[in-house]
Structure 1
Amino acid sequence: MGAGGPDDEDNRWPPWLKPLLRESFFVQCKMHADSHKSECNMYCLDCMNGALCSLCLAYHKDHRAIQIRRSSYHDVIRVSEIQKFLDIGSVQTYIINSAKVVFLNERPQPRPGKGVTNTCEVCERSLLDSFRFCSLGCKIVGTAENFEKKRKHFPGKKRLSMAASDSEESYSSSSHGRQKTNSGGNNKVQSFTPSTPPPTVVNYRTAKRRKGIPHRAPMGGLIIEY
């Protein structure tokens, strides 16, 4: 047998995993838009036909369906659900709402916090020393044969990691696909994180000021607005 190729990489993972990580959840279901239960937070591992709402599950009886949850605008899944179908070893788990979860996609940090000795090998999020990746998406990227890591030094310890430019808020421990290019080579590293629109910024200096009530000057003078 020869060297591993793209087909070998795909066969390492269940066929539903990459489509799951690229999917956008918590949108309104088009089939059941009139129902108050139309938020799409379910996914069928057998059909792989997009995000589903709870009413859609009637068409997926006896199928393997999982529920996606959300923490601070990031998609998570309970460990008790995903570990039935996927090996999540080396991915850091978190306790959120008294349940152990893993994040679906990366949440990069610009730099590790003070005293941090271990970070995600893909996006550099701070991790406990016993983990290599912060999310399922980072595990797929970081374990690929063509993934190149840059050596980075921490106090008293060497870690392998890849720099990331985005910033996100830190979490207490227990998007659609885009391409990123390594600065040291031509290999491209794929990110599965669905994009999040930036918050709207209002420029109050350039905003149009509301005109005041006009007042007529005495003795038939000009109108002055304040």
Structure 2
Amino acid sequence: MEMKSATSSNKVNKDEQVDQHIVPEPRWLEVFLKESFFGTCKAHRRKRNELNRYCINCNVSACGHCVLSDRHVDHKILKVHRYVYKDVVSLSAMEEHIDCSEIQPYKCNKQLVISPNPLPYSGPAQLDDEETCNICSRKLTEPDLYRYCSISCKVKAVQRKADDSAPPFILIPNPQEIQEETSKSQNERTSEPQNEETSEPQPEETSEPQPEETSKPQSLRKRKRKGIPHRAPFF
């Protein structure tokens, strides 16, 4: 009885240590993983109005018509695809926002995609631990290269990490930071032409007249006059 109580107390202490090092995930990612897609958009009663996009800045699902409106100008948009009747996103598009390493990718329409949540599995129930996801124990097609079957599984693993050396989530800048960066870039662009105007006349004065002086004598050279004509001798 004493041994059981000691082991149970050790488990509780480990759980408390893990909870102390929980890493908060980005707000948009938390909403994205819980969002349901491919429903009909209520704002646009027309063709191709399925909700197959997600606006990271607004934290809402949207259709193709919503994305073209002024409301989502210059916003970060993720396009959602269907794979085995489940939602998936492009690996290259998702890598711009979070660290997608060690997540099992799949091929869909000749491009690599990853699943926000675990995909259904109909294989054998008992599998080796080395061949399954570290969180949900679903089968991995390439267990030597990947450790998680979906984004949500890696989110849980990163949240429970006890080592600060593990890579954090890659966050997008806030809208205020984006506006500040755009204003700075505009100011730099307006200041650049002034510097160009002062620097342009200098090379014209020094470099251009030199080739003209060297080229004129070559073009004005006269041909030598012919000598006095003489008839060729017969012998």
Q: How far, CA to CA, are the matches of 1:137 and 1:104 in structure 2?
A: 6
Q: Which residue of 2 aligns with 1:145?
A: 160
Contact 2:115–2:149 (CA under 8 A) maintained in structure 1: yes
2:149 is paired with a residue of what secondary structure?
coil
For residues 1-226 of structure 1, what are the structure 2 equivalents within 5 Å? 8-10=22-24, 13-32=25-44, 34-48=45-59, 50-57=60-67, 58=69, 59-107=71-119, 109=121, 111=124, 117-127=130-140, 128=142, 129-145=144-160
1:20-64 deviations in whole A, cap 9, x for unaligned?
A: 0100000000111x211210001110110x210111111201010
- Letter of the 1:15 partner, please give it: R
The structure with the greater share of residues assigned to strand is: 1
Cα deviation for residue 72 of structure 1 reads 1.4
Structure-2-length-normalised TM-score: 0.54
Contact 1:46–1:64 (CA under 8 A) maintained in structure 2: yes
Contact 1:79–1:101 (CA under 8 A) maintained in structure 2: yes
Q: How far, CA to CA, are the matches of 2:21 and 2:41 in structure 1?
A: 33
Q: Which residue of 2 aligns with 1:207?
A: none
Cα deviation for residue 9 of structure 1 reads 2.2
* Stretches of 4+ aligned residues off by more than 3 angstroms: 3-8, 108-117
Q: How far, CA to CA, are the matches of 1:120 and 1:141 in structure 2?
A: 12
Contact 1:107–1:123 (CA under 8 A) maintained in structure 2: no
Which residues of structure 2 form unaligned runs of 5+?
Answer: 1-16, 163-235
How many residues align? The count is 142
Contact 1:91–1:139 (CA under 8 A) maintained in structure 2: yes
Cα deviation for residue 120 of structure 1 reads 0.6
1:175-223 deviations in whole A, cap 9, x for unaligned?
A: xxxxxxxxxxxxxxxxxxxxxxxxxxxxxxxxxxxxxxxxxxxxxxxxx
Q: Name which one, 1 or 2, has greater alpha-carbon Rg.
A: 2
Q: Which residue of 2 aligns with 1:189?
A: none
Structure-1-length-normalised TM-score: 0.56
Q: How far, CA to CA, are the matches of 1:6 and 1:36 in structure 2?
A: 49
Q: How far, CA to CA, are the matches of 2:46 and 2:117 in structure 1?
A: 29
1:113-144 deviations in whole A, cap 9, x for unaligned?
A: 88894111122222112111000011112333
Cα deviation for residue 145 of structure 1 reads 2.0
2:30 is paired with a residue of what secondary structure?
helix
Cα deviation for residue 95 of structure 1 reads 1.4
- Letter of the 1:75 partner, please give it: D
- Letter of the 1:37 partner, please give it: R
1:155-176 deviations in whole A, cap 9, x for unaligned?
A: xxxxxxxxxxxxxxxxxxxxxx
Q: How far, CA to CA, are the matches of 1:80 and 1:139 in structure 2?
A: 17
Q: Which residue of 1 aligns with 2:224?
A: none
1:35 is paired with a residue of what secondary structure?
coil
Q: How far, CA to CA, are the matches of 1:136 and 1:113 in structure 2?
A: 23
2:39 is paired with a residue of what secondary structure?
coil
Which residues of structure 1 form unaligned runs of 5+?
Answer: 148-226
Q: How far, CA to CA, are the matches of 1:7 and 1:17 in structure 2?
A: 19
- Letter of the 1:94 partner, please give it: Y
1:67-115 deviations in whole A, cap 9, x for unaligned?
A: 0011111111111111111100110111111001111101254746888
Contact 2:22–2:160 (CA under 8 A) maintained in structure 1: no
- Letter of the 1:54 partner, please give it: G
